């Protein structure tokens, strides 16, 4: 099948990705300060920027969810076991032996099975968990009825534990960007929108006839 440059990430998707990344880094940075891991800015400043970034991320994700549902992009995150084991084996073993990546992007499936499962878990479990625990913590004065509520400690524990899980995801994500090619090669599609995609004859004919603007040179 021919491999062509295809625009797989549109402007909103790229805006959403980089804005989300920036806000997550702000949340991690200010969260570490709130817990006293470093100095440099005051506690009040850290709390203020943490809350602003958190609410901004919630608003961004409301728009992102609407976009995913209305454009059908959610289908790219559907988990599948087809081709999952070769990808897992590649990252666990084959990558250290210099073997090529077993998965190539397809027009209707831009994430490999491991990516799709990881992103789906992030979006359906980690993000909602950190949002709900954070909002519960933020609105504590409205539901604790003037007394120290024992649930607050559990809410804080869940929020911090989930934040560290997200941090682990970020570290793994950045590490994988350094494998199987240059860092710039992996990052470029999320900047330009175009990536190398393996197209069937039917997909190429569809793009040439109905969406020629998505084909790169």
Q: Give residue limits of the domains in the chain.
A: 3-8+73-214
pLDDT band (50, 70, 90) for residue 98: confident
pLDDT per residue as tens digits for the range 171-205: 998 888 887 667 777 889 899 989 888 888 888 88
**pLDDT, tens only, 23-52:** 999 999 999 999 888 888 899 999 999 999
For position 146, what pLDDT does the model report? Answer: 58
Beta strand spans in the chain (E): 3-7, 194-198
Structural tokens at position 42: 């005051």
Q: Distances in Å between the alpha carbon of 57 and those of 60, 70, 217?
A: 5, 20, 35
* DSSP state for residue 102 in the 8-state scheme: S
């Amino acid at each position: 099948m021919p491999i062509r440059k295809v625009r797989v990430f549109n402007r909103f998707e790229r805006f959403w990705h980089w804005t989300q990344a920036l806000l997550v880094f702000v949340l991690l940075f200010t969260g570490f300060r709130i817990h006293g891991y470093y100095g440099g800015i005051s506690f009040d400043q850290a709390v203020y920027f943490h809350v602003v970034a958190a609410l901004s991320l919630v608003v961004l994700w409301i728009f992102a969810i609407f976009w995913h549902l209305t454009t059908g992009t959610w289908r790219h995150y559907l988990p599948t076991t087809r081709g999952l084991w070769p990808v897992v084996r590649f990252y666990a073993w084959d990558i250290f032996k210099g073997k090529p990546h077993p998965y190539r992007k397809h027009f209707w499936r831009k994430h490999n099975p491991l990516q799709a499962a990881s992103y789906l878990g992030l979006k359906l479990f980690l993000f909602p968990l950190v949002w709900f625990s954070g909002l519960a913590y933020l609105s504590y004065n409205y539901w604790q009825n003037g007394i120290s509520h024992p649930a607050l400690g559990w809410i804080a524990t869940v929020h911090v534990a989930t934040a560290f899980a997200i941090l682990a995801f970020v570290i793994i994500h950045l590490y994988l960007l350094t494998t199987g090619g240059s860092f710039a090669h992996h990052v470029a599609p999320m900047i330009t929108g175009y990536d190398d995609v393996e197209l069937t004859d039917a997909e190429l004919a569809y793009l040439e006839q109905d969406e020629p603007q998505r084909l790169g040179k």
